[in-house]
Amino acid sequence: MISVWFRVIRVRFLLSSVIAVSVGLSLNWWQNSSLGIFEAVLTFAGVMALHASVDLLNDYWDFKRGIDTKTTRTKMSGGTGVLPEGLLKPSTVYRAGVAFLIIGTVIGGYFVITDGIIIAIILGFAILSIYFYSTKIVDSGLGEFFVAVKGAMIVIGTYFIQSGQITIESIFAGIVVGSLSSLVLFIASFPDHDADKAKGRKTLVIVVGKQKAAKLFWIFPLISYLAIIVGVVVNLFPMLSLISLLSIPLMIKSGLGLQKNFDSVTDLVPFMSSTLMFGRITGALFVLGFLIGL
């Protein structure tokens, strides 16, 4: 049963939130040589709870809308398969999603009390976007945008909790993480195009069409790389942040693979996986650049 819950929560995808928090912490460490351990642990817990919540609620709503029964499930797309296979009851998954949302909200509430209005704004955005993500947001074609903003806000919020301020450095670092997070969602929506469209969803891939969308792939990593390069040039980031560019070959492989296989679910899976790996490696190298760039 534990393995089923790990599956429906999509544990391996939680790493994106781990990286986002780590970027905020490492940026603060590089700038201020300080780390509030209690606050850091609590931030990880709160962000992970909120991430688990959105994944659980997404699985619930996709099943209720009949999307997951029409998709071709892969390890990167098409839902977790837990509800279509009857491994858990939909009501159980929904309650778990709400429970994690409450846990994340309570933890966030603590930081609202200790750190004020800025955290309240970030938390309010998170709660609303999580609860309405799988219905209102993805139906309006704003899924990729909200995921990008979410990733950026995790970085900015983490940094603010540690330092008590929002700086241009934290905003640029947030842009790096947000773009990487959005890229993973973007490529994973290709195999679900037909099922999503039939059930009223409006992803970026549906809006512009698969062929044109495949060419948009490059925009996401370009934004991340440009934010890093500009950050280094104007002394917002340490020079060693440029080690993040070591992931360029993986980015090229993923982008070219998407353009050749955007209409084949089976052939696209390796490149969805390499895109996920690209995002993780770039994010990890970005964190490392702050830690060793003292």
Please provide the DSSP assignment of 91-105 as one string: HHHHHHHHHHHHHHH
What are the CA-CA distances from residue 140 to residues 132, 134, 144, 152 (Å)? Answer: 11, 10, 11, 21
Query: How many other C-beta atoms lie within 10 A of the C-beta of residue 167?
Result: 16
Q: Are 27 and 173 in contact (CB under 8 A)?
A: yes
Q: Are 62 and 195 in contact (CB under 8 A)?
A: no
Per the structure, how many domains does the chain have?
A: 1
- Helical ranges in 133-264 per DSSP H: 138-139, 143-163, 168-188, 193-198, 204-208, 210-216, 219-233, 248-261
Q: What is the pLDDT of residue 68?
A: 67
CATH code of the domain covering residue 194: 1.10.600
Q: What is the pLDDT of residue 279?
A: 95
Residue 165, domain extent: 2-292
pLDDT along the chain (294 residues), means of 10: 85 89 97 95 96 91 78 72 85 94 95 94 88 76 87 96 96 97 92 80 87 94 97 96 97 96 90 94 97 82
DSSP at 209: -
Please give the model's pTM, rounded to 2 decimal places. Answer: 0.93
Q: Are 177 and 23 in contact (CB under 8 A)?
A: yes
Residue indicated by tokens 């996709």 = 62
CA 291, CA 294: separation in Å to the nearest integer? 7
Q: What is the pLDDT of residue 294?
A: 63
